[in-house]
């Protein structure tokens, strides 16, 4: 069900702000509706409130405002004197309005759910199920901001699968895809939940290790290399891994410096014979 009943991806503080604004605007609309002629319809304004609340706060809040809006129109209509020949026609009209408001709440919630799914999907590599380049860069930016605030070190590792092309050429692309999926699964299952695993494209992967200094990063990567070596041997894949690890005791000025620093270490590992780990501590003064 029920994905529709889940709250949209909005933090609690923002939801409260939206609700406060919605209540304030709702009060203004009800007051204006009461003070003006019944020849003027404020249905569009009620509808916009329902739409906004449903989008930002979810279907339950949207439905509540749908009922409040319908109730307000009933009350205002009775107080100002409705223009219908029979009272039952007035209630039928308001019932139709309530249905339209509730339908708006449901459709807005569905649209928001699809939007969140599409946004999430755009950041996932569909072959491996881990983050793609876009997801990696966004998460890296968030981690940089967090570490800039907390002053904790972090590490970024770039991993390149050596001789991957030979697997595709000799065993076929389906086997190459299976290799990439296996690497992604191994990386994800071997690391902490707080670590970020991404496939940047082709046979290149990247890791972000929050709150991780030099020794911890090397220990983590040593265990990870053992697992990667084991899984490729079990599957008889003639590949190895060149890994560059950037250790960041301080946060660089921008994300490009993090990427270039860690990427250069990985290429150094490849040029020095492949199948090795090269790490270095980032020094802003040297850079």
| Domain extents in the chain | 2-121, 133-281
Averaged over successive runs of 10 residues, the pLDDT of the chain (287 residues) comes to: 50 80 90 77 87 89 90 76 67 82 89 78 83 87 83 90 89 92 92 89 91 91 93 92 92 85 93 91 65
pLDDT, tens digit (0-9, with 9 covering 90-100), for 155-167: 999 999 999 988 8
Query: In the numeric block, which tokens belong to residue 95?
Result: 């019932």
pLDDT, tens digit (0-9, with 9 covering 90-100), for 78-112: 776 666 667 777 777 778 888 888 998 999 888 88
**Helix ranges, the chain (H):** 12-35, 43-57, 59-80, 87-121, 133-150, 164-171, 173-190, 214-234, 255-271
Please report the pLDDT score of residue 174 as a whole number.
92
What are the strands of the beta sheet with 204-209, ordered from one edge?
196-201, 204-209, 154-162, 240-248, 277-281
Give this prediction's pTM: 0.65
Q: How many CA atoms, within 13 angstroms, populate the side-chain half-sphere of residue 8? A: 26
Pair 144, 211: CB distance under 8 Å: no
Pair 116, 188: CB distance under 8 Å: no
pLDDT, tens digit (0-9, with 9 covering 90-100), for 185-216: 999 988 888 898 999 988 999 999 998 999 99
* Mean pLDDT, rounded, of the chain: 85
CATH of the domain spanning 133-281: 3.30.70.270
Query: In the numeric block, which tokens belong to residue 28?
Result: 């203004």
Euclidean distance between CA atoms 41 and 35, whole angstroms: 12
């Amino acid at each position: 069900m029920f994905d529709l009943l889940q709250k949209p991806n909005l933090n609690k503080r923002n939801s409260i702000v939206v609700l406060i604004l919605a209540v304030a605007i709702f009060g203004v609309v009800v007051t204006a509706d009461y003070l003006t002629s019944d020849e003027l319809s404020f249905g569009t304004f009620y509808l916009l409130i329902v739409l906004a609340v449903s989008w930002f706060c979810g279907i339950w809040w949207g439905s509540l405002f749908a009922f409040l809006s319908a109730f307000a129109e009933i009350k205002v209509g009775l107080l100002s004197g409705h223009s219908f020949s029979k009272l039952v026609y007035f209630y039928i009209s308001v019932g139709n309005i309530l249905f339209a408001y509730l339908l708006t709440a449901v459709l807005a919630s569905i649209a928001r759910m699809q939007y969140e799914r599409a946004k999430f999907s755009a950041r996932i590599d569909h072959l491996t199920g881990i983050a793609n380049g876009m997801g990696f860069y966004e998460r890296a930016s968030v981690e940089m901001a967090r570490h800039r605030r907390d002053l904790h070190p972090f590490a970024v590792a770039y991993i390149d699968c050596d001789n991957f092309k030979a697997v595709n050429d000799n065993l076929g692309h389906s086997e190459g895809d299976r290799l990439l999926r296996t690497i992604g699964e191994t990386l994800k299952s071997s690391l902490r939940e707080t670590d970020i695993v991404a496939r940047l494209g082709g046979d290149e992967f990247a890791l972000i290790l929050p709150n991780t200094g030099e020794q911890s990063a090397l220990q983590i990567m040593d265990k990870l290399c053992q697992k990667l070596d084991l899984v490729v041997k079990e599957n008889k894949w003639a590949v190895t891994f060149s890994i560059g690890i950037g250790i960041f005791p301080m946060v660089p000025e921008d994300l490009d410096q993090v990427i270039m620093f860690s990427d250069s270490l990985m290429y150094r590992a490849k040029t020095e014979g492949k199948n090795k780990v090269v790490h270095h501590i980032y020094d802003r003064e040297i850079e």
